Chains A and B, each alone.
Chain A
Amino acid sequence: MNIIVCIKQVPDTTNIRIDPETNTLVRSGVQSIINPFDMYAIEEAVRLKEKFGGLVTIVTMGPPQAEEALREAISLGADEAVLISDRAFAGSDTWATSYTLSRAIQKIGKFDIIICGKQAIDGDTAQVGPGIAAFLDIPQITFVKKIEDIKDSLMRADRMTEEGYDIIESPLPCLITVVKEINEPRLPSLKGKMKAKKIEIKKLEAKDLDADPDSLGLKGSPTKVVKIFTPPPRKGGQILEGEAKEVSGKLVELLKGEICL
């Protein structure tokens, strides 16, 4: 079973703190990490490989230093890694990103399953997974919290919904996006780390993709960012003082009207 996992390198927000005095973000020393949802995607792919055999290929589109993320994925049990990097891709929105990734996946070759994290924590769009599926014209199952079974080229999986989950069956090849609940990612292994150090990362540039140049990067992106601003920070309010009984009384008074409405 050939599995492709699409990952993204993002800034590690776990190290971001709010400066209590200015109420702004303290970003110093923020490291780049693999998007947390993609960690579940990698783990699920490796588990499927362990169960059914096959090959796990990790794909990322990003600047040259995204290679680190690919090597980390190898240390977690993936087999091959492809870096899609070119200045022509800079400024891609989700449409252009989906297009570029789908072109690259077609170059990589035959696959049975594509796995993506449900969304990236920096952009939070959740659009690229379904976008890739649409470009490749394959079925998708989004927000998967469990793969029930794969048999006779059919995958059965649970898609999370607001109320619970749907059980969906899809023929292979298909694309799934996964949520945190699907598994607990393993830590890197020593043999994996040694492999990650040595492995040759395959690199794809714009010219390698047989892509329409007008569909790449900023030029190929239908959406344009016109303004970026920091929202006014939420200010801390009133601290209620007193014993449990007293403060509860105060809070009930303050909120009673809001709750009745």
Chain B
Amino acid sequence: MAARKELLQQQELIGSLQPALHVPQNWNYEVDGPLFKAYMHTPHDVGGQFDAPALYEEKEEEQWELNTYVTCEVLGWRGIWNSEERRRRADNDLGYALYLGLPYYGRWILAAARMLVDKNHISLTELIEKIAEVKARYAKK
């Protein structure tokens, strides 16, 4: 039963990540113009949106973040994708919940993984096997 409990908790969490329109929207036969436009809006286009003053802090860079930056750039260097496919399309394709919720370089690495699968450079089975293998490799240490 522990697994069910975890599932329910996950579902609740995923539910809370959805864009908060605060209206039921799970059986829409029609979507009016403004709502369609809002749905089509790309999450990265944030200029002018309301937000409260915040503490502008520096962040020390994680090793995985630098590695991610370099991996994405080297994939560009070798012609696998261009920056625009990453920063302005793939990042947006993650959707609002992930765009706003993930760390900056979390978006980058997910976008890179998705692109490699989409462009058939690697298969999804390879990727998930590799993720499982890497996890196991470091779990042993």
A binds B: no
Residues of A within 8 A of B (CB): none
Residues of B within 8 A of A (CB): none
